[in-house]
Amino acid sequence: MVHLKTEEEIALIRESAQVLGKAHGEVAKLIKPGVKTQQLDKTAEEFIRDNGGIPSFKNYNGSFPGSLCISVNEVVVHGFPGSYELKETDIISVDCGVFYKGFHSDSAYTYPLPKASIEDVLLLERTYESLWKGIEVAKAGNRIGDIGFAIQSYVESFGYGVVRELVGHGIGKNLHEDPEVPNYGKKGKGVKLVPGMVFAIEPMINQGTRNVVQEKDGWTIRTSDRKASAHFEHVVAILENKTEVLTTHQYIEENYSYKWRSKSL
């Protein structure tokens, strides 16, 4: 069942998203070759707690060990922070959630390190663009399938694979709520979008096959062909006459030292 949010609830999710966005910004300052991913996680958790929030992911389902999901290169999502040191050719997805004043927020951003390949940077740019293609059609009167179709048709035109096993989701008092928001679909199909819906759109796009496997840790998802994967995420609110993006990548883009995108969205 989809829980429609009031204006007051949406305002609280917006507040949560500001703490989240600023936590992402603190992480962005540190991303460079030689940095251990556990340092990124420590920085995010300290910032979130110092600002009155709780990391949504920490101990999720009683077992996730980090405040961040840190997914490098062929890891799609749910990678563990640890002793891995970033390399100048890596790409790294940082996914974070914040619980603040009773409401969750959730967003993700994939960074290329300074010597990432052209192919990897193009994957990131096109995945980021697909996120906005999905957001553009996420408006009252349309359907969930319109979002998936917009993302899928765009990235598949470049020969990329769209992950099927993991999808976007509603969000509010719980980190994961209805409706599910797949990154594939058909126009005019699925749940109708109505004012009060709040959900995360999060394309997970692979350079090669769409197929993924889960590692033995029970969390980490990687591409089956070990080619690179990209992941971007925003939370949106469907309003009467517009759609508002509640999360922000502003602080990431202000603080990440390597200005990689060829155009602004």
CB 235 within 8 A of CB 19: no
Task: List, in order, residues 6 or more apart from 168 with CB less than 8 Å away.
Answer: 147, 180, 181, 182, 183, 199, 200, 201, 202, 233
Any idea what the CATH number is for the domain that residue 60 is in? 3.90.230.10
Return the pLDDT at 261. 79
* Of 210, 185, 234, the residue nearest 76 (C-alpha): 210
- Note whether residue 45 is domain-resident: yes
- Note whether residue 261 is domain-resident: no
- Note whether residue 233 is domain-resident: yes
Beta bridge partners, 199, equal 170, 236
- Domain residues for 198? 7-255
- Note whether residue 262 is domain-resident: no
- Note whether residue 230 is domain-resident: yes
- Note whether residue 221 is domain-resident: yes
- Note whether residue 15 is domain-resident: yes
Sign, Cα dihedral of 169, 170, 175, 177: negative
Return the pLDDT at 262. 66
- Note whether residue 12 is domain-resident: yes
Total domains in the fold of the chain: 1
Omega into 81 within 30° of 0, i.e. cis?
no
What's the whole-model pTM score?
0.96
Return the pLDDT at 13. 98
* Of 103, 111, 74, 108, the residue nearest 211 (C-alpha): 74
Return the pLDDT at 263. 58
Question: In sequence order, what E strands does the chain have?
Answer: 54-55, 68-72, 75-77, 91-100, 103-112, 161-162, 168-170, 177-181, 198-201, 204-206, 212-214, 221-223, 229-231, 234-238, 243-245
Average pLDDT of each block of 10 consecutive residues along the chain (265 residues)? 97 98 98 98 98 98 96 98 98 98 98 96 97 98 98 98 98 98 97 98 98 97 98 97 97 93 60
